[in-house]
């Protein structure tokens, strides 16, 4: 019997963090178009409300919610709202993240703590807040945004590399512990992506265009990804078609790791 593969998210309830721009906004929009009810969360309230508006204008259902994922109360309040209003949360996308340029010696304890609070602790807090309800329903998909630097290293990216390696470990550990419950946990490891985050980082260099060319050339495809190219994998991992996928690291890097 032929099986149609549609990657539909119809009737699924999803939380997407870091959804004001870039990859997070692209994932939220893709989920909305695929039929999910999306809670787009970010500290940037105007930005996340714009994301929700774009989804609604395209015929989807979305809510823009200001959330600070570094605060336990904020994470618990976000999940509690979703469960109260929708009765369930089917998908959690931990996409929010920050970066830092520096070696161990040029990364202060405060720098490392800032990245750890967002890139790792925020994921932990949201996973912890949503997991019990998913286990109770014996279903759910958690998708964590790691990086190609969660699988290798790069000069002057000490704190970012450390935290993204931690995301990969966090993902695999939860997947192993809760595999029998029906809850799936995976992470996506992108290469460089054309986002406002990357564009802002470029401005920190004396010659932004020169460094941009270096970033592009580090990929086998000699370009950076567009946010929607990452969103496609997030749709698959949220869909029923990925029912046998857990504990995986999805590398979407344009061949960046080929030369590592």
Helical H runs in 58-96? 72-86
Distance CA 10, CA 61 (A): 11
Q: At 84, list the tokens.
A: 């109260």
What is the radius of gyration, based on Cα positions, of the chain?
A: 18
What 196-203 contacts at long range (C-beta under 8 Å, 24+ apart), as own/partner pairs, is: 196/21, 196/22, 197/21, 197/22, 197/99, 198/224, 201/99, 201/101
Alpha carbon 198 to its chain's center: 15
Strands 91-94 and 140-145: parallel
* Helices and strands in the chain, H and E counts: 9, 7
Distance CA 33, CA 55 (A): 7
Residue 31 is among the residues annotated as catalytic for this protein: no
124, with CB counted inside 10 A (0-12, 13-18, 19+), is middle
The residue from 39, 160, 205, 211 that is catalytic is 160
Nearest to 170 by CA among 151, 134, 146: 146
Distance CA 31, CA 243 (A): 17
Q: Active-site positions?
A: 160
């Amino acid at each position: 019997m032929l099986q149609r593969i549609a990657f539909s998210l119809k009737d699924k309830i999803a939380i997407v963090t870091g959804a004001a721009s870039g990859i997070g906004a692209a994932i939220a929009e893709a989920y909305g178009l695929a039929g999910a009810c999306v809670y787009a969360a970010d500290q940037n309230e105007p930005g996340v409300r714009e994301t929700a508006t774009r989804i609604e204008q395209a015929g989807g259902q979305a809510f823009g919610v200001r959330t600070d994922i570094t605060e336990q109360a904020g994470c618990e309040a976000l999940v509690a709202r979703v469960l109260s209003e929708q009765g369930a949360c089917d998908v959690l996308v931990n996409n929010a993240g920050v970066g830092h340029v520096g070696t161990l010696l040029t990364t202060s304890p405060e720098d490392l703590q800032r990245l750890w609070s967002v890139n790792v602790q925020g994921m932990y807090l949201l996973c912890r807040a949503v997991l019990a309800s998913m286990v109770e329903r014996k279903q759910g998909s958690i998708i964590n945004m790691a990086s190609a630097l969660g699988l290798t290293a790069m000069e002057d990216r000490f704190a970012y590399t450390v935290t993204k390696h931690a995301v990969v470990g966090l993902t695999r550990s939860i997947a192993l512990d809760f595999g029998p419950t029906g809850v799936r946990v995976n992470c996506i490891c992108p290469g460089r992506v054309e986002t406002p985050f990357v564009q802002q980082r470029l401005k920190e260099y004396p010659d932004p265009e020169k460094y941009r060319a270096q970033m592009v050339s580090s990929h086998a495809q000699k370009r950076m990804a567009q946010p929607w190219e990452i969103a496609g994998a997030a749709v698959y991992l949220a869909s029923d078609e990925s029912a046998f996928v857990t504990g995986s690291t999805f590398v979407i890097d344009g061949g960046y790791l080929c030369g590592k």
